Amino acid sequence: MSVTFTNANLFYGGYSIAGQHNQMALEFSAEALDATTFGADTRTMKGGLKGASLSGAGFFEAGVGKVDQVFYDSHALADAVVMLFPEAIGEGTTSTGSGYMMRANLLRYETGGAVGELLPFSVSAEGRGAGL
């Protein structure tokens, strides 16, 4: 199952960084394990280990609590708490919809662009442990 957010709020390691994103995706998966036995004429599959991954993209911003500082500092951080909400969540407000939370390890943080354009970034993280 893949869920793509177009106006989501993203909290990563205690920072709200949705304002620098223009793309976010969250994907849940499970391994398909072959359980076929002798004499079967079709494959039998069973669900295996679960997984979750997060990817996003947007425009680079430097400074405390901005994407560059948050993601750059997260390279050595294991199990960052990541929360995604499909609707805007601000301080003092409550959500009437659903959200997603996981512990994640940052796998990739990339920046780069052309002269005269906004500097883009992309990021990906893999869910880790219970709570997927």
Q: What are phi and psi of 82, to 5 degrees?
A: -120, 130
Of residues 51 and 100, the one with the higher pLDDT is: 51
Distance, in Å, from the CA atom of 63 to the CA atom of 52, rounded to the nearest integer, reads 29
Residue 79 has pLDDT above 90, yes or no: no
* Dihedral Cα 34, 37, 38, 43, nearest 10 deg: -50
With a pLDDT cut of 70, the percent of the chain lying above it is: 83
CATH topology assigned to domain 2-33+46-127: Elongation Factor Tu (Ef-tu); domain 3 (2.40.30)
**pLDDT of the residue at 33:** 96
Domain positions in the chain: 2-33+46-127
Type of residue at 13:
G
